[in-house]
Amino acid sequence: MADVTVRFEVDGDVMAPEQLDEQYELAELLDYTEAQIRAQMERQLGDLRCEVHGQPPRVVVTAQYSSDTEQMELAYHVDTCCKPFLLRAVQALNR
């Protein structure tokens, strides 16, 4: 299974949902978002591994939330052991 890390930025500050004790609704939104991202990555990448090196892809998803607009933007970065496997992993994510 892919190694997935989800990072949150709220109004430009890096934070974890558990840091938002006073903002219960936002903490719930971030928890839900993380669960959905992980489920989506699992569906898209499954047990994908490099055929040569046997390594799974490493994906870092950054979710940037703006309190002013109540909008969230997602970006992901994929690291792999080799370029051919990077192409396969990105192709799987873009399906």
66-90: pLDDT as tens digits: 989 999 999 999 999 999 999 999 9
- Token duo for residue 18: 């558990």
- For the segment 14-56, what is each residue's pLDDT rounded down to a tens digit? 887 777 767 888 888 889 999 999 999 999 999 999 999 999 9
Neighbours of 5 (CB within 10 A): 12
Residue 5 pLDDT greater than 90, yes or no = yes
Give Cβ neighbours of residue 50 (< 8 Å, ≥ 6 apart): 56, 80, 81, 82, 85
The residue extents of the domains of the chain are 3-65+75-93
Is there a contact between 55 and 80 (Cβ–Cβ < 8 Å)?
A: yes
What burial letters (b/e) apply to 25-63, b meaning 16+ CB within 10 Å? ebbebbeebbeebbeebeebbeebbbeeeeebbebebeb
pTM (2 decimals)?
Answer: 0.85
